[in-house]
């Protein structure tokens, strides 16, 4: 029996090759670097057995209706899966999988630390300054930054990524570690001397606050005006988790007013918009004390190929009649 799969965006080729080698699987790919339009998505999923989606596609009831009763699996090319209506999928007995891999945690941890160093050493500002021909002589007060060695890192969420960030900063830069989570992390405490704090206390004490929690009703908007006011004026906020965890208007005001020293962001509240409210005059992009990247924390060749393989392995396991290794539901 031949099955059909629609892949909503061209992904790295290792997983694609694995799927195309499956004799009884017909592969259809939306081959573009740009997101598929809603209209095209609804058209292309009609009658397919499997959808391989990425996080920019909202796979909801409308998409499942468009696919019809043939749809039996949704394989998400992402670690997160908040773009998929899990309740609706469960009603229809549709298997949903994600694509976690150790490489993802490694890459995001590295990117998180890169944002910290870019802020502390004012790398982006210095690059712009130099390219603009403003560098005429060495100066003792030119673009002064701050050292990270010996500072205090505050981690919110100590899963693989958060723990990876902590381990590197503690071992390599002798940083003191504070953390908060839904439960204590004895291993992290024993390996790094990490101290458990309430969210409020962590915000008050940390020199850098880094977010590593999933997007849930309990975490949406968890960093807003009051939380930012608790932070040190010299502190940095880093978000490589999910954009809506941080309320962008209060953050922009805090950066403009000097409530905090800077922010490093890879995700945004109304992504892909960088400006969460085009009707006001607040714009993150105009601020020198923020470093912005376009949701590329996991964007390394090694990681994206690994995710491609994991997504394919989930699909091939399903086709064999096995439970996919990364089944969510």
Q: Which pLDDT band, with edges at 50, 70 and 90, does 291 fall under?
A: very high
pLDDT score of 233: 98
Catalytic residue numbers read 242, 271, 295
Q: 262-272: buried (b, 16+ CB within 10 Å) or exposed (e) per residue?
A: bbbbbbbbebe
Domain span holding position 84: 3-98+302-319
Measured CA distances, 266 to 16, 79, 134, 152 (Å) = 27, 15, 28, 22
> Domain containing 87 — which CATH number?
3.40.50.720
Whether residue 186 is predicted with pLDDT greater than 90 in this model: the reply is: yes
How many domains are contained in the chain? 2
Both 43 and 117 in one domain: the answer is: no
Question: Do 234 and 133 belong together in one domain?
Answer: yes
pLDDT of residue 282 exceeding 90, the answer is: no
CA distance 247 to 282: 13
Closest CA to 96 of 74, 115, 79: 74
Q: Virtual CA dihedral for 106, 128, 154, 192, nearest 10 degrees?
A: 50
Q: Is residue 219 part of a domain?
A: yes
Assess if residue 23 is contained within a domain: yes
The model scores a pTM over 0.85: yes
Is 19 inside any structural domain? yes
Q: Are residues 126 and 92 in the same domain?
A: no
pLDDT category of residue 182 using cuts at 50, 70 and 90: very high
Regarding whether 170 and 107 lie in a shared domain, the answer is yes
Please tell me whether residues 162 and 281 are part of one structural domain. Answer: yes
Residue 275, pLDDT > 90, answer no
Residue 70 lies in a domain: yes
Return d(Cα 82, Cα 79) in angstroms, integer.
10
pLDDT at 300: 95
118 and 231 in a common domain: yes
Residues 222-238 have pLDDT tens digits of 999 999 999 999 999 99
Structure tokens at 130: 């130099």
Claim to verify: residue 11 and residue 27 sit in the same structural domain: yes
pLDDT tens digit string along 67-103? 999 999 999 999 888 899 999 999 999 999 999 888 8
Q: Is 12 in the same domain as 133?
A: no
pLDDT in tens, 142-156: 999 999 999 999 999
The answer on 126 and 79 residing in a single domain is: no
Residue 204: the pLDDT is 98
72 and 119 in a single domain? The answer is no
In a domain, 327, yes or no: no
Look at residue 140 in the predicted model and tell me its pLDDT.
95
User: 297 lies in a domain?
Assistant: no
Does the structure show a pLDDT above 90 at 128? yes
Q: What pLDDT sits at residue 180? A: 97
Would you say residue 260 lies in a domain?
yes
Q: Residue 134 region, left (φ>0) first, then alpha (ψ -120 to 50), else beta?
A: alpha
Mean pLDDT, all residues of the chain? 95
Please tell me whether residues 272 and 156 are part of one structural domain: yes
pLDDT tens readout for residues 50-68: 999 998 899 999 999 999 9
Residue 22 has pLDDT above 90, yes or no: yes
- Residues 64, 115, single domain; the answer is no
DSSP state of 175: -
């Amino acid at each position: 029996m031949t099955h059909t799969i629609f892949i909503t965006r061209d992904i790295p080729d290792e997983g694609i090759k694995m799927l195309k080698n499956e004799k009884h699987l017909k592969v259809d790919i939306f081959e573009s670097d740009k997101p598929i339009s809603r209209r095209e998505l609804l058209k292309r999923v009609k009658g397919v057995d499997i959808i391989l989606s990425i996080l920019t596609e909202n796979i909801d009831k409308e998409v499942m209706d468009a696919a019809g009763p043939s749809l039996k699996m949704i394989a998400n090319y992402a670690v997160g899966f908040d773009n998929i209506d899990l309740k609706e999928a469960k009603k229809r007995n549709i298997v949903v999988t994600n694509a976690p891999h150790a490489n993802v945690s490694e890459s995001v941890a590295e990117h998180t630390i890169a944002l910290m160093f870019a802020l502390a050493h004012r790398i982006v500002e210095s690059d712009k300054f130099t390219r603009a021909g403003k560098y005429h002589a060495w100066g003792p007060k030119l673009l002064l930054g701050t050292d990270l060695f010996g500072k205090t890192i505050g981690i919110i969420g100590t899963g693989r990524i958060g723990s990876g960030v902590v381990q590197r900063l503690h071992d390599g830069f002798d940083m003191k570690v504070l953390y908060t989570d839904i439960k204590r992390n004895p291993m992290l405490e024993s390996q790094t001397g990490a101290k458990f704090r309430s969210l409020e206390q962590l915000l008050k004490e940390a020199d850098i606050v880094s977010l590593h929690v999933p997007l849930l009703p309990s975490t949406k908007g968890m960093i807003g005006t009051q939380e930012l006011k608790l932070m040190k004026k010299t502190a940095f906020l880093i978000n490589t988790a999910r954009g809506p965890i941080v309320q962008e208007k209060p953050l922009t005001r805090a950066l403009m007013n000097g409530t905090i020293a800077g922010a490093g962001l890879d995700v945004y509240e109304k992504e892909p918009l960088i400006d969460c409210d085009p009707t006001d005059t607040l714009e993150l992009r105009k601020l020198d004390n923020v470093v912005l990247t376009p949701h590329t924390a996991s964007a390394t060749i090694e990681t994206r190929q690994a995710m491609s393989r994991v997504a394919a392995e989930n699909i091939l396991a399903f086709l064999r009649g096995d439970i996919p290794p990364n089944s969510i539901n």
